[in-house]
Structures are given as C-alpha cells and as structure tokens.
Amino acid sequence: MPPFTKVANTFSVLLSPTNLAMGESASGKWTMVADQGFELKFQGFSYWAFFKYVQEGEATISYCSQTLQGWYRADTVGPKQMGCYRASKKGVNVTAPVVTNAPAISAAPTPVNRDAMRAYVDALNQAQSSWRADLSDPEAEERFLDHAFRASILAADPAHQSHVGSAPAPVTRRSANGQTPEARLGLPDYLNWHNVTGQDFVGPVRDQKHCGDCYAYVTAAIMEASVRVQTGNQQKIYLSPQHIVSCCPYTQKCDGGYIVLGGRFAEERALAEVRCFAEEPEGEAEAPCSWGCDKPEAYWYATDYRYVGGYYGNCSEEAMLAELAKAPIGVSIYVHSDFQAYKSGIYRHVPDNELPAHVRGIAPALPTNHVVLLTGWGTDPVTNTPYWIIRNSWGTSWGERGYARILRGNNEISIEGKAATMRTVLDRHPQPHPDGHPELVPWVIATLAGLVLVCLVLAVTSLCLGVLARRYYKRAQIPIYSPVPSNLGSTN
C-alpha cells in the first residue's frame, strides 16, 4: 500500500449505545460487526475498519482504542468516492493495549477414537429424545473427527474461549399474555422457503468442505433466495462463494468472516455467478482473485445489508420472524460436537454433564463459530416445541438432507443473537470498462485513495479480547485525505 496523501477533511461524531451516530450538524447510524470492528454510515458515506492489532513473536498486542486502515465509500450501490481511513479513540477512558500470548501446548491433541465416538453418539441418543444422532455416514464421521481434533486445539486458547462466549443475548420470546411471536406478528404457524406450496425458493444444498467460508456460502444463499423471492421463483441464479473468499478484503478467507461484510463487498463489487467464478477444488479454496468472464449480467449487487434488529446486539426472535417472512436470512451459531452428529429431530445442545461419565470429554466442549441459512420456522404438533429450520453447507449427507430443526425461542446455540440479511438488486449490474472489467478499476483505485483519520471519544471503557474488542460508545474526529490520482490503474 503506497503512502497516504494529505488530509482532506476531519469531523467528530458521537456513537450512542444503540445505533445512532450524532455529529455537530448531522446524524447517522453505526454498528459493531461482532467484536472485530465497527461500521459507520454518516453524511452519505459508509466507513468500515477492523480494530488494530500487531503481532510480535508469539504475542498479539491489541489496541482497542484504534483501528487498522479501513475503507470508506459513498453509501450507494457500486464503487463510488472510495478511500481509506483510520480511527482512534480520544479523550477519557482510552483503553490500554492488551497483550495476548499464544497458548502453550505441551503435546499434540489426541484424535478422537472411533469406538469412543460411537459410544458418544449412543450416549447422545440415550440422554434425550428430541433429536437423533448418527455418524454412520463416512462423510459425517470424517467431519466429526476433524471438528473434534481442531476444537481440542482451540480449547487451549483462553482468548478463543472468551470470544466464543461473546454472543449478545436476544430479547425475551414470550409476551405477558402468553402469545407467541408469530401470533403477535400475524404470521402463520409454519413457513419453510425450501417448500412453499411445492416451490423451492432457496436452491440446492452445497458443501463448503474443509474451508471455513460458511459466511461466503450464506451471503451467496441469501442473495440467491432474494432473487427467487422477488421474481416469484421465475429467475434462479447460482452465485459464487469463491468470489468472496478470493477477492473480499473484509474477511479472513478460509479462516472465517461475517455475513454483513460479505454484503458490503457485494454492494461495492457485485457478486459473481459460478459460471464466471468457479469454486476451487478441495485444498485450493484460497486461490488468488482473478477475473472470470466479461459478462456484467452475471454479477449481482446487494443492498440493505444489515444485522436483524438494525444493529449488532439488538436481535430477537420476533425481529427474525418478521425478516424471515419476507425472505431467507443468515444466522450465526456456535457449533458443538454434538451438532456435528445431528441427523434428525429438533436439536438442542446436550452438554457433557448430561452424559454418562464414560463418554464425557470425548468431544471437546468448546464450540466454534458457524453461519447457516435460516429458511423457516414451525412448532412440533406433538410436543408443542417451537423450532427454526436451517440449511447447512455440509452437503446432503448431514442432518435432514442438509437441513436441521433447532429449538426456537431459547437462543439455542446463540441462533437468535446475531442474524443478518440483505437484498439483491435486480435492475443493475456492473458497467463494463474499456479493459473489459466491469467497475473493477475504480474499486481498486479507491482502495489506494486517501486516508480518513478517525479519533474516537468513548463514554465507557471497552473490553478487549486478543485481536478483538467488544462494543462500546465512541466519539470520532475524522480528517479525510484527498484521493490519489485516478491513473494508477488496476492491480487485479
């Protein structure tokens, strides 16, 4: 990245404990993106940056009062008036740097024994009757063993344990008169976008294999479903998660990401169909970004990407139902080892203390972050148990042919804590440029354009976890830097 040019402008903004951003003469909105950074929409521009951290040997030093270099752009569809910025906290309650050392692991974790795994599955089925566990399928068994092995490594990391426990709690489900959320909203008792009077509005189940790009699969799935719903299932597209993994600067490729940042990328760049950006073979998922084809009509913009409830931490079952009644949405969950073994029924997590002593500890208790597509809701007619319907990205051999029902109204595995949504733009595609790359040149140039320096004054002290920081109040003073000349050209 070349040196920044001179500062073009500065401004101050107070970020409230909800999502209101207040300046001296204008207002806007803001949200945390989990605990990795924050997005600000103010005076016609959208700003996004990760919190700052540096790596020094085995230690990670987090500066929760600052951000890394971030990006700003006009708050519209497409790449317009884009540039770079940084943010820093100013005034009282400035958070001191936090040092997180890599965990000392004295020996390599022991892979789960297959006989022990089968005993664990039997114990799950004996401990409850709501759902059935089954790992007889070779793919399901391999996934379980792989997850258990990786989770045993992460369990040694205190920073990861703390991060896993950081999901916001949703709003209470039931009202004083006992009405369910669907009844209060005038919605039906059952909806499943996978089968609406015989029509499928979500398309086929896919398999992300061993790449941690579930966020990309769900971003693509939300946009695909949005096209189907808006056109009455007359138009069906098949979008490329690989495009996000390979080209989006806001994610960690096969090491994870967030739906809203996938939506931000799709609003700026437009997401390619698979015919223009094919998925890579197994083991090559982090392939470099490259142009697929000169078909602007095969690239689709997103808009109105956001957390359900308006901002991170304001999700609820009722808000999710209201959005889901319009189209499928994405949800983040914490995947425990027993979820890997799910085959059918209404899932609820079975912790180790509910299992016999001889199988406790076979599968690590530490969950991992995962993202799935929420396609519907319902209530079991026999047990009166409410549930969500989700579509996973682990192929059709897992669960109910790739789907699952999860206990609803209890924030089971944090499913009601941080849902997200977006809408696909039907009537606009990237404009072609002389070099044949639709709207690529201005986007790349913009990432090299000026710097905006943001100084934040917070009302409270934030909590910093490793390279992450939790949500907090902020005040920003922003000097905007003038852009670099537009003759730098594309670096793709």
259-269 confidence digits (pLDDT tens): 999 999 999 99
| The pLDDT of residue 151 | 62
Q: What b/e readout covers 166-188, taking b as 16+ CB neighbours within 10 angstroms?
A: ebbebeebeeeeeebbbeeeebe
Helix crossing, 259-269 with 440-447: angle to 10°?
Answer: 120
**Choosing from 84, 392, 411, 464, which is the catalytic residue?**
392
**Per-residue confidence band for 442, with pLDDT thresholds at 50, 70 and 90:** very low
CB 255 within 8 A of CB 291: no
Q: What are phi and psi of 230, to 5 degrees?
A: -65, -30
Which class does domain 114-423 fall in?
Answer: alpha beta
CATH of span 7-102+441-488:
2.40.128.80
Helical segments of 1-137, H only: 114-127
Cα distances (Å, whole numbers) of residue 173 to 136, 296, 409, 419: 36, 44, 5, 15
Q: Residue 34 pLDDT more than 60?
A: yes
| The pLDDT of residue 11 | 78
| The pLDDT of residue 364 | 61
Q: Region 77-101: what's the mean pLDDT?
A: 81
Q: Residue 374 pLDDT more than 60?
A: yes
| The pLDDT of residue 366 | 57
Tokens (6 digits) for 82: 């884009």
| The pLDDT of residue 446 | 42
Q: Would you give the distance in Å from CA 294 to the centre of its chain?
A: 29
Pairing relation of β-strands 70-74 and 45-56?
antiparallel
Q: Of 52-61, 107-116, 153-162, 453-462, which has the strongest mean pLDDT?
A: 52-61
Q: Region 359-366: what's the mean pLDDT?
A: 70
Q: Of 90-99, 235-244, 292-301, which has the strongest mean pLDDT?
A: 235-244
Element (H, E) at 406: strand 403-407
Q: Which long-range contacts (CB under 8 A, 24 or more apart) does 427-430 make?
A: 428/77, 428/78, 428/301, 429/270, 429/296, 429/297, 429/299, 429/300, 429/301, 430/78, 430/269, 430/270, 430/296, 430/299, 430/301
Q: Residue 487 pLDDT more than 60?
A: no
Q: Residue 456 pLDDT more than 50?
A: no
- Percentage with pLDDT > 90 across the chain: 56
Q: Is 392 a catalytic residue?
A: yes
Q: Is 410 a catalytic residue?
A: no
Nearest-5° Cα angle at 309, 237 to 26: 105
Q: Residue 157 pLDDT more than 60?
A: no
| The pLDDT of residue 484 | 29
Query: 135-149, 289-303, 424-438 — which is least confidently predicted?
Result: 424-438
Q: Residue 230 pLDDT more than 60?
A: yes
- Residue 451 bridge partners (DSSP): 84
| The pLDDT of residue 426 | 98
Q: Region 266-285: what's the mean pLDDT?
A: 83
CB 407 within 8 A of CB 462: no
Query: 85-94, 148-157, 236-245, 466-475 — which is least confidently predicted?
Result: 466-475
Alpha-carbon span 390 to 383, nearest angstrom: 20
Q: Region 316-325: what's the mean pLDDT?
A: 97
| The pLDDT of residue 305 | 98
Any idea which residue has 């897992």 for tokens? 398
CB 424 within 8 A of CB 227: yes
- For 17, counting Cβ atoms within 10 Å of its Cβ (0-12 exposed, 13-18 middle, 19+ buried), the class is exposed
Alpha-carbon span 263 to 280, nearest angstrom: 21
**Per-residue confidence band for 382, with pLDDT thresholds at 50, 70 and 90:** very high
Query: 176-190, 273-287, 348-362 — which is least confidently predicted?
Result: 273-287
Q: Is 370 a catalytic residue?
A: yes
Q: Region 416-427: what's the mean pLDDT?
A: 97
Nearest-5° Cα angle at 93, 88 to 94: 30
**Choosing from 84, 211, 214, 315, which is the catalytic residue?**
214
Q: Region 57-74: what's the mean pLDDT?
A: 90
Q: Which long-range contacts (CB under 8 A, 24 or more apart) does 153-157 make?
A: 153/105, 153/109, 154/364, 154/366, 154/368, 155/364, 155/365, 155/366, 156/103, 156/104, 156/105, 157/102, 157/103
Helical segments of 294-439, H only: 317-324, 337-340
| The pLDDT of residue 464 | 35
Report pTM: 0.86
Task: Please state the domain extents for the chain.
Answer: 7-102+441-488, 114-423
Residues 6+ apart with CB under 8 A from 125: 132, 133
**Per-residue confidence band for 270, with pLDDT thresholds at 50, 70 and 90:** very high
| The pLDDT of residue 336 | 87
Q: Region 11-28: what's the mean pLDDT?
A: 91
Q: What are phi and psi of 67, to 5 degrees?
A: -115, 165
| The pLDDT of residue 409 | 95
